[in-house]
Structure 1
Amino acid sequence: MPEIGIIGGSGVYRMPSVELIREEAVDTPYGAPSDTFRMLRISGIEVVFLARHGSGHTIPPHKINYRANIWGFKALGVKRLLSMGAVGGINPLLRPGSIVVADQIIDMTTGRTSTFYDKDEVYHVDFSEPFCPELRAVFTEAAGAVGLPVLTRGTYACTNGPRFETRAEIRYYSIAGADVVGMTAMPEAALAREAEICYGTIATVTNSAAGISRDKLTTTEVIETINESSINLNALLLRTISLIKAQRHCPCKDALKDAKMMK
């Protein structure tokens, strides 16, 4: 089974070197994932792809079944999960089209179940480095190989959505040290850590966040920027997949070791 997973938008289908092998529905103890899992061959490498918001982008961020999605990847044998997502830029150096390889998260979400262990067992996993350091290094190496400038460190503030943020909220996140704001990294990253799956994100800035730009925030701007950035994103993703090595030497694979609360 493929050991590399991709979660994100359906733009992956438009990559010229993608071949659909099959689709697979996965039943999980947590309900239905966002969509069927698609087994793809990208430049000769098999990967598992899931549309985070469903094929027609019909699931808003606060309604995504994050536990089912991550559990499904785990059940299919995925060990590394590449997350693709759109974000708003808070750091004034970031412009629409900028790409950020985030290294930290500020979780501002509410009402989202963020653990697999909320019944008879209690685990406290280390989350001081929420994104896999090995995947972050691969993203950075891949960006250099394709000549794509990226911000190699950045803090991702995750909000509940589906609304955009207020100007006051963005000022607050900026003071807290956030570089970008999005709606999907949590609890996705935390659940991946509990599943001992390496997780890294390629965040594309689609607009300046509220208050950074005086213009009204629109989904049209988000879609247009994603479409304009697709060539760069596809090149980065292709090179990233080719650079991932078989062996894992990061802490992610042992996240549950010494994390269980003993009675």
Structure 2
Amino acid sequence: MAIGILTGSGTYALPGLESTGPLPVYTPWGEALVSRGTWAGADVLHISRHNPGHPRLSNHVTHRANIAALKSEGATAVLAVTVCGAVDPSLELGSLVCFDDLHFLSNRLPDGSLCTFFTEPGARERGHWIYERPFSATLRAALLAGGAEAGVPVVDGGCYGHVDGPRFNTAAEIRSLAAAGVTAVSQTAGPETVLCGEAELPYALLGFLTDYANGVQDEATPVSTLVDMMAASADAFGSVLRAAVPAAAASEQTPPGIVYRFTASD
């Protein structure tokens, strides 16, 4: 049993992870590179979405392979981090947000296909993921407690908006997301949330605000600021995750909602 950790831009490894990885794990949806080791006193499975050196842009991330690999390797829960563009103008850059809601209307993978593991009619595992909130309350509590222990403030709650990359969004697009109540956006965590739900893997997401999305402020965030903030995110994420992982590993994990599966009599 292990805690899965998914990291993105700026965080390509877990500092101090005792691991023999990353090693390939083969799934029906392709190969994922997984590092298994001991970190913060717990057994963890780490995947860098973009891989070291960032060869994979957001449109190259193999979400189904990543989540399937974590599940097959024994992950019981998944903690994920992502750098974000702020849509809420009241939040300062450098803020950490522990999200409690999701805006992902397209529900599609980078290749345009629907975001689901359930692609075969009649397959026994097929079903509808039904829930009130998509993120695990237990894992959210672990992240919030981890922030408090590490002395890193974390905003409790916010709506994560998934947007398709690799381009950034126009001001008009951001206005529509703001009207829907989105707090911050990035280009990777929507599919992870849905696929973990279908795989019955509890999942929680922590965001670090690196820039203001287009139109949120009168002046655009300089690219140099975005780059500096992205570099700073690694230390912030590492501190919170290191404190949160033991609590996540020690707690009883229950996936949010259920996957309603049809039987022959339905």
TM (norm. structure 1) is 0.89
Q: Give the equivalent residue in structure 2 for 1:233.
A: 237
C-alpha change, 1:127 and 1:54, in structure 2 (3 Å) is farther
Uncovered stretches (5+) of structure 2, i.e. residues with no partner:
none
Displacement after TM superposition at 1:245 (Å): 4.1
Uncovered stretches (5+) of structure 1, i.e. residues with no partner:
none
Q: Give the equivalent residue in structure 2 for 1:243.
A: 247
1:58-83 Cα offsets, whole Å, 9 max, x none, are 21212321111100000100011111
TM (norm. structure 2) is 0.88
Give the letter for the 2:73 counterpart.
Answer: L
Displacement after TM superposition at 1:247 (Å): 4.6
Identity %: 28
CA distance in 1, matches of 2:56, 2:132: 29
Secondary structure of the residue aligned to 2:30 is: coil
CA contact (8 A) 1:4 1:79 kept: yes
1:92-120 Cα offsets, whole Å, 9 max, x none, are 12121110000001104442431111212
What is the RMSD of the two structures over their aligned residues, measured on CA atoms? 2.0
Question: Map of 1:184-195 to 2, 5 A cutoff?
Answer: 184-195=188-199
Q: Give the equivalent residue in structure 2 for 1:119.
A: 120
Displacement after TM superposition at 1:213 (Å): 2.6
Displacement after TM superposition at 1:41 (Å): 2.1
Give the letter for the 2:258 counterpart.
Answer: A
Q: Which residue, out of 40, 45, 49, partners 2:42? A: 45
Displacement after TM superposition at 1:224 (Å): 1.4
Question: Map of 1:126-137 to 2, 5 A cutoff?
Answer: 126-137=130-141
CA distance in 2, matches of 1:136, 1:194: 19
Displacement after TM superposition at 1:147 (Å): 2.2
Higher-strand-fraction structure: 2
C-alpha change, 1:215 and 1:238, in structure 2 (3 Å) is same
Secondary structure of the residue aligned to 2:37 is: strand
Count of aligned residue pairs for this structure pair: 256
CA distance in 1, matches of 2:203, 2:222: 29
CA distance in 2, matches of 1:164, 1:117: 30
CA distance in 1, matches of 2:64, 2:177: 26
C-alpha change, 1:216 and 1:249, in structure 2 (3 Å) is closer
CA distance in 1, matches of 2:99, 2:137: 10
Give the letter for the 1:13 counterpart.
Answer: A
CA distance in 2, matches of 1:244, 1:127: 21
* Pair 1:68 & 2:65 matched: yes
C-alpha change, 1:86 and 1:229, in structure 2 (3 Å) is closer
* Pair 1:141 & 2:138 matched: no
1:184-228 Cα offsets, whole Å, 9 max, x none, are 111111100111111111111110111013444565433310212
Question: Map of 1:160-239 to 2, 5 A cutoff?
Answer: 160-216=164-220, 220-239=224-243
